Amino acid sequence: MRTYDSNDYDVIVVGAGHAGSEAALAAARMGQKTLLLTINLDMVAFMPCNPSLGGPAKGIVVREIDALGGQMGKNIDASYVQMRMLNTGKGPAVRALRAQADKNLYHRLMKDTIENEPNLTLRQAMVNELVIEDGECRGVITNTGAKYTAKAVVLTAGTSSRGKIIIGELMYSSGPNNSIPSIKLSEDLEKNGFKLRRFKTGTPPRVDGNTIDYSKTEEQPGDKTPNHFSFTSSDADYLQDQLSCWMTYTNDRTHDIIRNNLDRAPMFSGVIEGVGPRYCPSIEDKIVRFADKPRHQLFLEPEGRDTEEYYVGDFSTSMPEEVQLQMIHSVAGLENAEMMRPGYAIEYDIIEPWQLTHTLETKPVKNLFTAGQMNGTSGYEEAAGQGIVAGINAALRAQGNGETFTLARDEAYIGVLIDDLVTKGTNEPYRLLTSRAEYRLVLRHDNADLRLTDKGYALGLIDEERKAKFDHKKEAIAREIARLRTVRIKPSDKVNALLAKLHQSPLKDGVLASEFLKRPNISYKDVLSLLGEEKAAAIDRYVSEQIEISLRYEGYIKKEQIKIDRLHRMEAKKIPDQIDYDAINGLATEAREKFKKIRPETLAQAERISGVNPADMAILSVYIEQGRIAKVNQAVS
Ligand SMILES: Cc1cc2nc3c(=O)[nH]c(=O)nc-3n(C[C@H](O)[C@H](O)[C@H](O)COP(=O)(O)OP(=O)(O)OC[C@H]3O[C@@H](n4cnc5c(N)ncnc54)[C@H](O)[C@@H]3O)c2cc1C
């Protein structure tokens, strides 16, 4: 292919999925002249699977992206058809907001945001090759021969990389939803020494909502007072006319149909080489793995307001189309359902993520960053969270002042995700789960702004007006918490009547309001009422929430802080870049090989590598310490 020189940019982002959209917006908002190239402009921020965002851990990531100045939260708040807070009966660490998206509207809003962002150019093009000179990425070449140059490049090719769709015996080269796959870019990455591997994921069939018998299903309405993802969305923006989801179940017949056709299931016939997500198995996988389970829950979820398509949640399958039809018709409520699109599995390439640093820059090629599904994750939120970090770092690189941006495991779920990827790699599509975070009590849904807004502001991603509002909120919380530590609740009929109602022992002596709030089932509103300060109703509900959580869980949070302080001490112990692991006597072979492959940046990261044991850590620490002492001695003599 003959190439021709096209424009020069500061940052080029390849792929406008969830990772690419956030990466490009972040770079442009940081003042960098940014180009976003993607195969099909009609698939910007497209949701090829579940038309929903959020849920456990993932919902917190959306809030974190928003707190950093990203877009996902704002656009889902403007396009949801249903909003629900999950786990409301549990502690604040596991509360999770989940939105059902109007999938088409979400795409249109993201495209519109990108089109109207100053400094950002959106163009339809397939990137085939990277321009790499002297170990540095300097640009990209498209399939039409256009050569664009830049100071930094972010790749976010998603499931399109050498994508292959599989439906029963049918198999063809394709990106998600029958889009054009990206083949040459994968080949180019291999040519440049990157280690790739195959993963797979799958999606369920979609059915026509007009043909569902809802009377045989259970309704799942949205919350009466919906919450929102973006800290900038106001209560006045709440949507009132939410759409319901509907719940139904598989049954013996469904399971029989699946069992009788397992020899035609690509998952079991050996045609799939990619590794699938353990936490998001196909229905045929569930029937085999949980053979005793009499039924599995299914969710019928609207794909939007202007379509009758329903997503059959938890029914992901790559069975032949005719088998899928039988499976659908065996389910209560779907006996006469018209299948509009069959489910399918898709196999694709990923870059082994241990080839990346915490900034998401690749180790083999400087100025090249990667984000999203192509780093081995699964999920829109995981992709977008990496996207904003990669976009910020690409912008910082283009600015050329040597700064980098990373998030630690105690600062954000995004930090946990990236650290897991680069430290441990992944053997299956990586999904964020609350159990992956050690410091769950500080990485909450409600405090993402308190954790990250200042960082977003320092990067130039949060404007002055938002920062002023945030500072005001922070001060209001601090002021009120300090006040509650000085005022006392005294025993009275009113106090003891409330305690009796809650089956608690009466109050004998006065107690600080901050302590009284720690009693079970006592709310901040109760405290204010007992203090005779009902004007509380006027206090912002998010300020109240923060006061309540901070005081009620104070003891637990302090305990977690002790562990975080230890982490910080370990993070501060840097491992020299040039360390020669072969020169360290006594390291176990597994630890030595992993250290050489991953090249951890700190002792804390080294400790988290799987297969590294305390004896290896002790040897490594002593070796580094001796090196430091030797250096000091050299300097002195
Ligand atoms: C069938 C299927 C089922 C899935 N199931 C689930 C699920 O159950 N749960 C879940 O959480 N997630 C699921 N996912 C994953 C989810 O879609 C992804 O995690 C998410 O979309 C990843 O975002 P991304 O930005 O990394 O990639 P994508 O959204 O795939 O976006 C990548 C973009 O890059 C473009 N592109 C690729 N190569 C090039 C190139 N060479 N030049 C220019 N542009 C390029 C593509 O056209 C695309 O627009 C599924 C995905 C698929 C396809």
Of ligand 1's listed atoms, the one at least distance from the Cα of 280 is 8
Q: How far is the CA of 599 from the centre of ligand 1 (A)?
A: 29
pLDDT of 637 reads 56
- Asked whether 346 lines ligand 1 (CB < 6 A), one says yes
Of ligand 1's listed atoms, the one at least distance from the Cα of 160 is 37
Binding residues for FAD: 15-20, 127, 182, 373
- Asked whether 50 lines ligand 1 (CB < 6 A), one says yes
Q: What is the CATH number of the domain that holds 583?
A: 1.10.150.570
Last residue of a domain, one of 447, 463, 490: 447
Same domain, 415 and 374: yes
pLDDT of 630 reads 61
Are the beta carbons of 76 and 90 closer than 8 angstroms? Answer: no
Any domain includes 484: yes
Residue type, 491: P
- Nearest residue (by CA) to ligand 1, atom 47, is 39
Q: How far is the CA of 177 from the centre of ligand 1 (A)?
A: 10
- Tell me which residue range forms the domain holding 162: 4-197+350-447
pLDDT of 511 reads 93
- Asked whether 15 lines ligand 1 (CB < 6 A), one says yes
Q: Which residue has the higher pLDDT, 459 or 276?
A: 459
Are the beta carbons of 204 and 343 closer than 8 angstroms? Answer: yes
Q: What is the CATH number of the domain that holds 419?
A: 3.50.50.60
Same domain, 389 and 491: no
- Asked whether 350 lines ligand 1 (CB < 6 A), one says no
What single DSSP character describes residue 503? T
Residue type, 21: S
Same domain, 171 and 59: yes
- Asked whether 55 lines ligand 1 (CB < 6 A), one says no
Task: Out of 143, 348, 378, give the residue to mutate to test ligand 1, the one with the largest number of ligand atoms within 8 Å of its CB.
Answer: 378
- Nearest residue (by CA) to ligand 1, atom 13, is 379
Same domain, 331 and 364: no
Are the beta carbons of 194 and 364 closer than 8 angstroms? Answer: yes
Same domain, 137 and 272: no
pLDDT digits (tens, 9 = 90+) for 106-162: 999 999 999 999 999 999 999 999 999 999 999 999 999 999 999 999 999 999 999
Binding residues: 15-20, 127, 182, 276-290, 373
Same domain, 189 and 210: no
Q: Which residues pair with 173 in a beta bridge?
A: 164
Q: How far is the CA of 17 from the centre of ligand 1 (A)?
A: 6
Are the beta carbons of 336 and 183 closer than 8 angstroms? Answer: no
Last residue of a domain, one of 347, 362, 396: 347
Same domain, 320 and 422: no
Residue type, 347: E
Same domain, 45 and 96: yes
Same domain, 163 and 250: no
3-class state of residue 317 by DSSP: coil
- As to burial, measured by CB atoms within 10 angstroms (0-12 exposed, 13-18 middle, 19+ buried), residue 133 is exposed
Same domain, 408 and 539: no
pLDDT of 280 reads 76
Read off φ and ψ for residue 148, nearest 5 degrees: -105, 135
Any domain includes 277: yes
Q: What is the mean pLDDT of the chain?
A: 93
Q: How far is the CA of 160 from the centre of ligand 1 (A)?
A: 7
What single DSSP character describes residue 342? -
Q: How far is the CA of 332 from the centre of ligand 1 (A)?
A: 32
pLDDT of 240 reads 65
Any domain includes 458: no
Highest mean pLDDT among 190-199, 500-509, 532-541: 190-199
pLDDT of 625 reads 86
Is pLDDT of 520 > 90? Answer: no
Q: What is the CATH number of the domain that holds 308?
A: 2.40.30.260
Structure tokens of 274?
Answer: 């990619």
Is pLDDT of 503 > 90? Answer: no
Q: Which residues pair with 99 in a beta bridge?
A: 53, 83
pLDDT of 395 reads 98
Question: Strands 11-14, 152-155: parallel, antiparallel or unpaired by DSSP?
Answer: parallel
Any domain includes 459: no
Any domain includes 595: yes
Structure tokens of 434?
Answer: 């609350």
- Specify the number of domains making up the chain: 4
pLDDT digits (tens, 9 = 90+) for 403-459: 999 999 999 999 999 999 999 999 999 999 999 999 999 999 999 999 999 999 999
Q: Can you give the pTM of this predicted structure?
A: 0.93
Quote the radius of gyration of the chain (alpha carbons, Å). Answer: 26
pLDDT of 387 reads 98
ipTM score for this prediction: 0.98
Stated as kind and residue range, the H or E segment containing 246 is: strand 245-249
User: 570: pLDDT confidence band, cut at 50, 70 and 90?
Assistant: confident
User: What is the crossing angle of helices 554-571 and 541-552, to 10°?
Assistant: 80
pLDDT of 65 reads 98
- Asked whether 360 lines ligand 1 (CB < 6 A), one says no
Q: What is the CATH number of the domain that holds 489?
A: 1.10.10.1800
Residue that has been written with the tokens 């973006």 in this structure: 230
Is pLDDT of 37 > 60? Answer: yes
Question: Strands 196-203, 344-351: parallel, antiparallel or unpaired by DSSP?
Answer: antiparallel
pLDDT digits (tens, 9 = 90+) for 92-116: 777 789 999 999 999 999 999 999 9
Any domain includes 243: yes
Distance CA 131, CA 6 (A): 13
Taking residue 472's Cβ as centre, other Cβ atoms within 10 Å add up to 12
pLDDT of 634 reads 66
End-to-end CA distance of the chain: 62
Q: How far is the CA of 145 from the centre of ligand 1 (A)?
A: 25
Of the CA atoms within 13 Å of residue 114, those in its CB half-sphere come to 32
Is pLDDT of 329 > 70? Answer: yes
Q: How far is the CA of 587 from the centre of ligand 1 (A)?
A: 40
pLDDT digits (tens, 9 = 90+) for 165-200: 999 999 999 999 999 999 999 999 999 999 999 999
pLDDT of 237 reads 66
Same domain, 234 and 188: no
pLDDT of 611 reads 87
Question: Strands 297-302, 245-249: parallel, antiparallel or unpaired by DSSP?
Answer: antiparallel
- Asked whether 384 lines ligand 1 (CB < 6 A), one says no
Q: How far is the CA of 503 from the centre of ligand 1 (A)?
A: 52
Of 175, 146, 313, 332, which is closest to residue 249 (Cα–Cα)? Answer: 332
Distance CA 16, CA 322 (A): 34
Any domain includes 461: no
Binding residues for NAD(+): 276-290
- As to burial, measured by CB atoms within 10 angstroms (0-12 exposed, 13-18 middle, 19+ buried), residue 621 is middle
Q: How far is the CA of 153 from the centre of ligand 1 (A)?
A: 18
User: 537: pLDDT confidence band, cut at 50, 70 and 90?
Assistant: low
Is pLDDT of 374 > 70? Answer: yes
- Asked whether 157 lines ligand 1 (CB < 6 A), one says yes
Any domain includes 632: no
Same domain, 293 and 337: yes
Of ligand 1's listed atoms, the one at least distance from the Cα of 371 is 26
- Asked whether 21 lines ligand 1 (CB < 6 A), one says no
